[in-house]
Chain A
């Protein structure tokens, strides 16, 4: 059973074993509007928690995507370069951004669960 958590920067993270899959939330894509460009990190890159590692751009503006956890990027979603609109269609599914091998699993404890995030997004 995967663990699902959320960051204050509106990323979701799904953890199975020591592999975390990361993307932006449905709420985040709704705030951004039509996504027209995505840049994902290179495989092998070492990332720290709260480091800006990817970029998502809507018609209106560019936004950084942060890694909620520390670790090494083991895979990035190549589909997003060609079809950035996937982020609007399936933000918490097919439009995952990258996968990280967790170096500090304890960092997950500081993140929100879905109920806490929904509340944060509604009031934030």
Chain B
């Protein structure tokens, strides 16, 4: 939630802007967009509501784009030159999390990649990237695509996320048969007569869906969903505390060009074939870090007491030697206490290691903790 560096440029609006304002949302600049940070319910209650019922998020500021090639192997091969995930073996309808990597293995952005279902989709991949990176991502991807594979930026769809234990019950009243979708899968469907694409995924640690809806119809879909007693609109504030409790990285904070996927503990997202074969930017560094361990690692941090430790807080060992920095930190409403993540030198990364955080000039005792802070409740 850092201040927007492009704040001088006119802020863009999502197709749901008027509804947010009418609902009494507090709007803030985020990644060049005027976005709801909270609704009248407030961050704390929005967070808890999402964990208990279902929260509806406008994430239309994120970038949707499609890769089109002659067949899956060609398109997948083109993308595999930019990301370390196994895209070739994605089944139709399957989704994967990955990272666009720089030549030195640093992370340019993280993204969701879906191979759409259906024969007519062969050779097509659906990408969802971060709002703050999307223009740079599109230029980077387009520049590296081989002849015959094309990038289409999708400005015709808004993206909304319905997250929480009641999401499946609420959404299945509008789209039949979605209970059977597995986590990290996608499909085309019809919602209120409109063609949509949905995936069972999200950024809260809860079960839920992300739905790409035609711009002209998203307001109606938003109203349909928020009219449901189990659904509340949720702003970026709670989105941040939800993902922090879930141990999920926020680009530009927990991962960036200076961090590798191994340092960031994202090795689970690099499948074995890619580790063995390489063929992605920074493969040498990533192989070396997998074999020998990285110099530093992303860790969960649980401060003792009640004081939150914010981004930028220095992490010290118990002798007072600086060993790292907090990259995300705040109050976890479901944990009912402070939670944080950051990077420490690998020698100090073991679970249970006692550390201290320099908050307002005073050392605050803390422990290297397991993530997520709240158990994931994905439906596998």
Known: A57-B331, A59-B331, A60-B37. A34 touches B43 (CB 8 A): yes
Q: Is the CB of B42 within 8 A of A57?
A: no
Sample of 29 A–B contacts (CB below 8 Å): A33-B42, A33-B43, A34-B42, A34-B43, A34-B44, A36-B44, A36-B331, A37-B306, A37-B307, A37-B308, A37-B331, A39-B307, A55-B307, A57-B308, A57-B331, A58-B43, A59-B43, A59-B44, A59-B238, A59-B241, A59-B330, A59-B331, A59-B333, A60-B37, A60-B43, A60-B330, A62-B310, A81-B306, A84-B306
A34 to chain B minimum Cβ distance, whole angstroms, is 4
0/1 string, B327-350, CB within 8 A of A gives 1: 000110100001000000000000
**Within 8 Å CB of B103, what residues of A?**
none
CA gap between A81 and B45 in the complex, in Å: 20
Taking CB atoms and an 8 Å cut-off, the chain A residues in 84-109 that contact chain B are 84
Q: Which residues from 312 to 371 on chain B have a C-beta closer than 8 Å to any C-beta of chain A?
A: 330-331, 333, 338, 360
Contacts of B1 in A (CB 8 A): 60
* B38 lies within 8 A of chain A by Cβ: yes
Is B237 interfacial (CB 8 A cutoff)? yes
- Identify which of A33, A34, A36, A81 contacts B308 (C-beta below 8 A): A36
User: How many angstroms between the C-alpha atoms of A80 and B141 in the bound complex?
Assistant: 52
The 8 A CB mask of B102-118 against A (1 = contact, 0 = none) is: 00000000000000000
* Residues of B in contact with A (beta carbons under 8 Å apart): 1, 37-38, 42-45, 47, 237-238, 241, 306-308, 310, 330-331, 333, 338, 360
Give complex CA distance A60, B44 in Å: 10
Q: Give CA–CA (A62, B330) in the complex, Å.
A: 9
Select the residue from A55, A57, A58, A59 with max chain B CB neighbours within 10 A: A59
B308: chain A residues within 8 A (beta carbon): 36-37, 57, 62
Question: Once bound together, how far apart are the Cα atoms of A70 and B358, in whole Å?
Answer: 28
- Cβ–Cβ < 8 Å partners of B331 in chain A: 36-37, 57, 59
In the bound complex, CA of A67 to CA of B241 (Å): 31
Of B43, B310, B331, the most chain A CB neighbours within 10 A belong to B331
- Return chain B residues, CB-CB under 8 Å to A81: 306
Q: How far is the CA of A39 from the CA of B47 in the complex (A)?
A: 24
The smallest C-beta distance from A45 to any residue of chain B, in angstroms, reads 14
A37 to B237, CA, bound (A): 17
Report Cα–Cα, A37/B338, bound state, in Å. 9
| Closest beta carbon of chain A to B287's beta carbon, Å | 40
Please name all residues of chain B whose beta carbon is closer than 8 Å to the beta carbon of A57 when the two chains form the complex: 307-308, 331
Question: B328 CB to closest chain A CB, in angstroms?
Answer: 13
- Chain A residues with Cβ below 8 Å from B241 are 59
Distance of A26 Cα from B331 Cα, bound (Å) = 22
CA distance A55 to B47 in the complex (A): 23
In the complex, A33→B308 CA distance in Å?
15
Nearest-CB distance from A37 to chain B (Å)? 5
Which A residues lie within 8 Å of B330 (CB)? 59-60
Interface bits A25-68 vs B (CB < 8 Å: 1, else 0): 00000000110110100000000000000010111111000000
Specify which chain A residues have a CB less than 8 angstroms from the CB of B45 in the assembled complex. 34
Question: What is the CA–CA distance of A61 and B311 in the complex, to the nearest angstrom?
Answer: 10
Instruction: Please name the 4 residue pairs, one residue from A and one from B, whose CB atoms are nearest each other, closest first.
Output: A34-B44, A36-B331, A59-B43, A34-B42
Please name the residue on chain A nearest to B331 by beta carbon: A36
Which A residues are in CB contact (< 8 Å) with B338? Answer: 37
Query: How far, in angstroms, from A36 to B48 measured CA to CA in the complex?
Result: 14
